[in-house]
C-alpha cells in the first residue's frame, strides 16, 4: 500500500531514538526519549487550503521536527507513520 497525501498533508516516519548515551550507557526501552525527528516519506501538492494558497516547503527525504502530539498515526506495510499538516512541522533539520 502507498499513501498519497492530499492538500497540505505530509507523511512522516519517526527516526529511532539513540540506544546509548554519549557516555556509552545502553538505554532500555522505557528509558529512551521519544524521538523528535522524523523523515518525510510523502508530500501533498499544496494548493488552496481553507481559502489560502499553501506552498509546500518540505520535500521527500527531509528530516523534520513536528509538534509533539500532532497528526494521525497509521500502520503502513508494518511500519507506523504519521500524517501531519505542514503547519505542524516546526523545523527542517539540516
For 18-28, the pLDDT digits (tens) are 555 667 666 55
Query: pLDDT of 37-76, one tens digit each?
Result: 999 999 999 999 889 999 999 999 999 999 888 899 999 8
Residues near 33 by beta carbon (within 8 Å), at least 6 away in sequence = 17
pTM comes to 0.79
Instruction: Provide the pLDDT confidence category of residue 34 given band limits of 50, 70 and 90.
Output: low
- CA distance linking residue 61 with residue 46, whole number of Å: 17
Residues 84/10, Cβ–Cβ less than 8 Å:
yes
Amino acid at each position: 500500500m502507498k499513501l498519497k497525501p492530499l492538500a497540505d498533508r505530509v507523511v512522516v516516519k519517526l527516526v529511532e531514538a539513540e540506544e546509548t548515551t554519549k557516555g556509552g550507557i545502553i538505554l532500555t526501552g522505557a528509558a529512551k526519549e521519544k524521538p523528535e525527528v522524523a523523515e518525510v516519506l510523502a508530500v501533498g501538492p499544496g494548493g488552496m487550503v481553507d481559502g489560502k494558497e499553501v506552498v509546500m516547503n518540505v520535500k521527500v527525504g527531509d528530516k523534520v521536527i513536528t509538534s509533539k502530539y500532532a497528526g494521525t498515526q497509521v500502520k503502513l506495510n508494518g511500519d507506523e507513520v504519521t500524517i501531519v499538516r505542514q503547519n505542524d512541522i516546526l523545523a527542517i533539520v539540516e
